[in-house]
Structure formats: C-alpha cells, structure tokens
Structure 1
C-alpha cells in the first residue's frame, strides 16, 4: 500500500521548523530599473562550508522586460499539513514571482535544477484582471487550499480597490477574487493570518497611481495613504473589522502574525508619521470580541544638514527612519526592523510583544551616513536594510537594499546601487558576517529585492500545531 510522504520541508509546528537543517541556497529577485533588460532570479550559495559561499551561483533571466519583480513566495509550505484542508501530496517546488509593474506572474520550478530554476508558466496581466479583477500583484502566501496573491490595483485601468486573488495550488490558474464582502477596505498591501482561528489580517499602502512614480508629497502630507489594519473571517471571506492607526500613521506595510498558532497577536509596520517623521511598529491583539492595536516601537527621525538630503525631504532637515520591512523569527522571540532611510537594522526581543526590548543594532548604507559593509570599509553604500529574511532556526538574517524603483530614485537620487548582507544572530549577539557581501556587478546591473531561503524561512510558512 503506497503512502503519501509529506514534503520534508513541511513542519507541523514552529518548534519543528526551528530545528530544521540549514538552507543551502537563497533565491533573490532582482530588477532592471530602466526596464531595458529582463529582471532575474539570482541564486546565492548560503552554505558556509562551501567554497563558493556568498557567491551568485545561478541566474535565471525572465522572458520579458519591465516586470519589476518585488515580493514572491513558495507554491506550498507547512500550512499544507493543516487538518481542515490537508494537502500533504503537494511539495515546495515552485516560486511564484509577480511583476508589480507588468502584473505578470511567473511560475518558476526549482526542483530539477535548484541552482538554475526554470520558468514553466507565465500568467499574463489579463488573466489576473479577467478572473479576479486585480492588477499590480504584490505578495504571495501559501495557504492550505490555494495561493493567496495580494494586489494593489483594480483591473481595466481602475486604480482600485486592491485585494486578494486566489490561485490553484497545482495548475496556478487564477480561481477568482478571494473577498466575498470587502466592507470598507479599499487599499491593499500585505495579508497573512491566524490560521487556526480563521482570521486574516491585511494592511494598506496605496493605489498604483500613488506609488508608481514615487511618493506623492501632497497625498502624503494630506494623509491620504493607507493607515489601517483590516481583520477578516478567513473561511467566510468577509470583512469583520477595521482598526485605524490614525491618519498621521502613513503606509501600514508588513504584517507578521505570531507563528505559534495558539496566539492571536502580531506586528505591523508603519513607514512614517507625518507629525514628526518617526516610524513605528504596532502590535495587534484580541480585545474581548474585537481587535485592537497599539504602538509598541517608535523610531525617531534623525536631524541632518539639509544640504545632504535628497529634495523630497530637504525641507524637513531630518532623515526619516522609513521602516519598510519587519520580520519575526519562527520562535516568536526576535523582531527585526529595517530602517531603510537611516540605514539601520534593529533587533528587538519581543518575548513580551507589548514591551519590546532593543537587543542589537547595525548600520549599513543610509541616506546621509552611507555606512560601508565591514568587508569593504572603503566603499560607501547607498540604500539601506530593506527586505529582511530570517532562517528557520533564527540564526541567519539576510537583507537587501532596494525598495521600489521610483522610491529608490527619490531617496537616493545619486543611485541606490546593489548589495546584500547577512548577519549572524544569537542570544549573545547580532553581527555582520564579513564573508557574505555580494554587491555591485555580482547582480549584473540589477537591483536586488526580496530573498527566499531554500526549504522555507520566517515569513514563508504558517503552522497549525503549537
């Protein structure tokens, strides 16, 4: 009698995932800002015993130009083991890679040639528009019954609303719009869930016209970007509650729920306060029968000589931190906070999620400081820690430096460059790995964005068992 054997990279619990063997490869999407040559998936050697450790060892060009690869994810993950919709026969094989400008979605097979993944299917923009009513796909999460693809824009030239499209696990066809009743939700960005409680949480950035040519100062100062979290019934696909963080809190981006499925709290990041240019992290939680959120981390702006600032922020005489990503370790202990403006990556102990304790900080890049990497002390760097990804065991943290093409150009008008760094993280310390610093020509003129680790990482999987 044949038995299904689940993919060995699926883990029933966060504890099991944290005990997984180290990854050997990292996949990094990189884009051409000029849209003159194809975007690509770079494959990096992250096996610290390998002679090519830290090198780009594989490269997959995409077939078109102008995609601007952004966030991407796996076709299947540990949520496949959830008891109400188990799919143990699927495997973590394909990368689902959206182009945020083209609205194409690429399906890339990593199984046969892990260091040379192959494009096996392309979903064109009209398929996403026709079947789900969306454009500008942004974030991918693997659920038990399909793939959740958040999108920023509407179809047929409509600026919004944004929302979530559901894709089939196996055929990758667009099944349709996920929302049955979206309530007041209009802006979209990220979405994730408390899967054991049938709760989905989504956040807000803005519509394509508010993003694609850079920050629109009038809309930012007019407090018109997203500033709320939305809570949904995951099974019924219905909006339940909006939690407004305040219209001064502009651009609510990443949502990071606790990995422990028995918990009902998580963290969301806010890019900037228009009151004082600070950035913040908020913790959401159950409050009786409703949801609530409170600010638990504030990172202030740093005063600076206006002559050293790009035009977009010169009038303020300060560098905003610009929290553009956060990541929560699988054991729910460490929260990493990327301050892309100041070039700081912060680590917080969030054992008590409502009283985070700063437990480490490094600097690299930054609008003013241009702090070099320790491996190349004579090389000033533009950009800053932007996308951050944490290994399953929590010991390795990878960051890349590009945010979004038009925003890169506004905040780093002399060029954002291209680099990736790795940090070692233990309870005793948080430091750069000086052996790992791919940069410049290593990325063939493209700008690196998000990282996915082979076998899964801290922002790829959700778990149904404690």
Structure 2
C-alpha cells in the first residue's frame, strides 16, 4: 500500500495558497465568569454554499470549569515535510487546546467528525508541572520533531516562562525545551526560522503579573516585556537579546516570513507609555546579527473621558491596543488588530522596512462601538482581537475577546462576543462581509483563538521556498 502524506501538508507556502478553501473554523470560547460553567470549543460553518454559513454548527464543552482556553493549535502541519522531519506520514487531526488559567491541556480528535471534535486526552496541571517545571500553557506550534507549547511561568506563577514539548504520538510532556536560557525571564510567544535553525521568543509577563488584569504600576514603571530573544533552535541555547525599548510595553505576537529563505518577521507591542500608541517592529538578520526596527506606529485617538474606562479617563484618549497580527502566506499583507479602537488594519509589507497601509475596517471599540454592516442598528463592544487569515490570503476571520480579566478593565460593561469576517482584495483593501457574523451572545461565552480547517496563515511553517 502506498502511504501518502496528509493532503493538508504543503512543502511551500506558495503551494499552500493553492489549496482548497476552508469549510469550517474551530473557535475557543471562555466563560465570562470564570467559574461554574466550562469553556468550550465551537465549530463555525465557513462554507458560503451552506445554509448554515456563518452559524455555529457545534459547541463542545470542556469537562470542568475554569480553564480559560487560549491559543490552541494542530498536532502536526506542513513542517512534517521538512527534509529532516522524522514523521512525514502523520495526520493533521488533533487539536492541542491549552487552558491558560488552569494549566490543563486537552487533546481533541477531529477525524471521526470534523464538526464535533472528541476529547481523547487530558494533561493535568500537576503532570505538566512535574515534567516541565512550567504552568499556564499559552501557544501551540507543530514542529518538525514534536509539538511545541509556550508557558508563561512556573507552577507558582513567577518567572521564568518558556517552551516545553509534547510527543507527537502519545501527547505526553517530554520536558522543558531550553537547555541554556541566558538572560531570558519573561515569555509570551515563540516562532522560528527553520531554514536558519533559529527560534525567536517574545515577552508579556509572568502569570502573577497578568492574571488579575493590567497592573498600571507595572506599566508605568515599564516592567512588562519589551524584548525579543534569539535562540539556536537545535542546540536550544540563548544567543541574543533584542531590546525594543522599555517604553514599548508587551511585545506579543511573532509572525516570521513564511518563505524559509527570508530572515525577517514582525512583532507587535501593545502600548507605548509615552503616547499610548501601538507599534509594529520588523526583526531581521544583518551581517550575522539579529536586529529590530520600528516600522509602523498606530497613534491613540482623542476621546471624551466620560466614555473611557477608569484607567484611561485621565488621558482623554483611547489607545489602539494592538493585540494580534497575521501575515498572509505570500508575505505581502500584514493584518493588524487594534482591540482598543475597534479597527482591523491591513499593510502591504512587501518591503518589510517600509510598510504601506492598504485597508481598514471598524467594528466595536472602547468608545466607537461600531456596528456590523449585517446588523447596522446594533452597537458592538470588544474589538478585532485574535485574527486569522485563510491560506489563499483572501479571507480574514477575527474575534473580540482578549483575556477575561483584561476584558473587564477595558470593556467594563462586558464583552458580547462574535466572530466576524473581512474580505481581503488583491490591492490589500478590506471589506466586512455583511452576511457573516457568528454571534455568541446567546451562548454567553467569549470567543478567542480561531483555527481554520486544513490550516491557516499562522498554523504551518515551511522548509521549501
């Protein structure tokens, strides 16, 4: 019998862009109260020919409450086709779903019924702490040799945070990834340049710095993360630290170029303590040294203090609060979500050092409360937050909840949650799809991470240009 690789694996991003259109999305839902009711994994219909287009097709509850589901991911992906990958015939069928607050990790099988994932394994917090020394699992990426998961801190909620690994077949924790961490203490996201054996990590804060909500004292004193760290991916040792400037607080999402011959990527910082702006940096390799350059500044917008939540009243402005970014597979368009102002922006980053804005749509926002075109009379709260782009780069899906305790500070009236879709044109312009809005108001839980069936712009990494 001829054994074929999974048809959703592609050797290059260029080939992935030619793949079939996604038919459904998986969305993490978190309980707004954080107690009593469990979080859930929802399936949303993305097929425009379906009578259920834009509707929630299924909701699978977690077995217990209090997880705060966050950035989940696939067990394997196109990295399995790398020349040195030991498992080219595995299947993209399991979703690895971490609970950021509980430190529990779930494994769901999507193969028996893609619309109704089945829970097949649970890694308990005690097991995770014993085998890795970490807690608060946050982001999942499928690597060439294992499943990689970031964690924000140790079991006590203090630094250092880092990365641990799960076995591809058993999903058992293998241990902490770092052999020598050097000066790295704070942690958030991680990604890699496979062609250059390099990992990049970013910084937010320890669990004790973030779980109760934003700490204005920490923010004013510039104590949240503002650095990138460069690692030898194979040797697992720290190589270099890049300071973005301590005024640029909370260096979050990392999006490297998908072409493995390119040595650059993008990272967002949430807020500047000098002017409330949000900023995008390009990191790059030059003459053997990794560097970073600020390439996009999104300013705060003046606002009536009466309309602002308590922490912002004295500033008379609403910060953009850029909390997520997404890079199309052709490395051409960067999508940027401004959760505070309720704006999704698009930039042409064909020249990664000179981005050019090409599009913008608005929905929600701390002050604006902009309606969706499909329901023009309904004010929306929250704002574009977790953003995911289809493989062909034509559709952008985004949700509106950040993190329960942070939602409650910036949107004190609560976040009524939704999943929206924007169409991305060839010239980089954006338009909201008036016929698509998965509304979770009836469910009452808040939507966060989105994963697309068959992969998306931030699920996979590629070893061939």
Provide Cα deviations, 1:256-278, integer angstroms capped at 9, x if missing partner: 00000000000000000000000
Provide Cα deviations, 1:111-160, integer angstroms capped at 9, x if missing partner: 011101111000000111001100000000000100110000112x1412
Tell me if the contact between 2:418 and 2:441 (Cα under 8 Å) persists in the aligned partners. Answer: no
Number of the residue aligned with 2:262: 263
Number of the residue aligned with 2:231: 232
Tell me if the contact between 2:32 and 2:444 (Cα under 8 Å) persists in the aligned partners. Answer: no
Q: Secondary structure at the match of 2:434?
A: coil
Give the count of matched residue pairs: 463
Provide Cα deviations, 1:308-364, integer angstroms capped at 9, x if missing partner: 100011111110000000000011010000000000100000110110000000010
RMSD value, Cα: 0.8
Number of the residue aligned with 1:183: 182
Q: Secondary structure at the match of 1:115?
A: coil
Q: Secondary structure at the match of 1:15?
A: helix
Matches within 5 A, 1:14-93: 14-34=13-33, 35-93=35-93
Provide Cα deviations, 1:176-208, integer angstroms capped at 9, x if missing partner: 000000000001100000011100000000001
Matches within 5 A, 1:249-260: 249-260=248-259
Number of the residue aligned with 2:210: 211
* Cα separation, 2, equivalents of 1:192 and 1:441: 34
Number of the residue aligned with 1:244: 243
Give 1:88 deviation, angstroms.
1.2
Q: Secondary structure at the match of 2:21?
A: coil
Number of the residue aligned with 2:390: 391
Give 1:440 deviation, angstroms.
3.8
Number of the residue aligned with 2:455: 456
Provide Cα deviations, 1:95-123, integer angstroms capped at 9, x if missing partner: 00000000000000000111011110000
Provide Cα deviations, 1:371-424, integer angstroms capped at 9, x if missing partner: 000001111011000000000000110000000000000000011111110011
Tell me if the contact between 2:416 and 2:441 (Cα under 8 Å) persists in the aligned partners. Answer: no
Number of the residue aligned with 2:111: 111
Tell me if the contact between 1:4 and 1:88 (Cα under 8 Å) persists in the aligned partners. Answer: no
TM-score by structure 1 length? Answer: 0.98
Number of the residue aligned with 1:163: 162
Runs of 4+ in 1 over 4 A off after TM superposition: none
* Cα separation, 2, equivalents of 1:355 and 1:338: 19
Structure 2 runs not aligned, ≥5 long: none
* Cα separation, 1, equivalents of 2:346 and 2:196: 28
* Cα separation, 2, equivalents of 1:303 and 1:393: 37
Q: Secondary structure at the match of 2:121?
A: strand
Tell me if the contact between 1:33 and 1:68 (Cα under 8 Å) persists in the aligned partners. Answer: no
* 1:11 has 2:7 as partner: no
Give 1:4 deviation, angstroms.
2.4
Number of the residue aligned with 2:120: 120
Tell me if the contact between 2:324 and 2:387 (Cα under 8 Å) persists in the aligned partners. Answer: yes
Tell me if the contact between 1:190 and 1:204 (Cα under 8 Å) persists in the aligned partners. Answer: yes
* Cα separation, 1, equivalents of 2:440 and 2:226: 35
* Cα separation, 2, equivalents of 1:96 and 1:312: 35
Number of the residue aligned with 2:222: 223
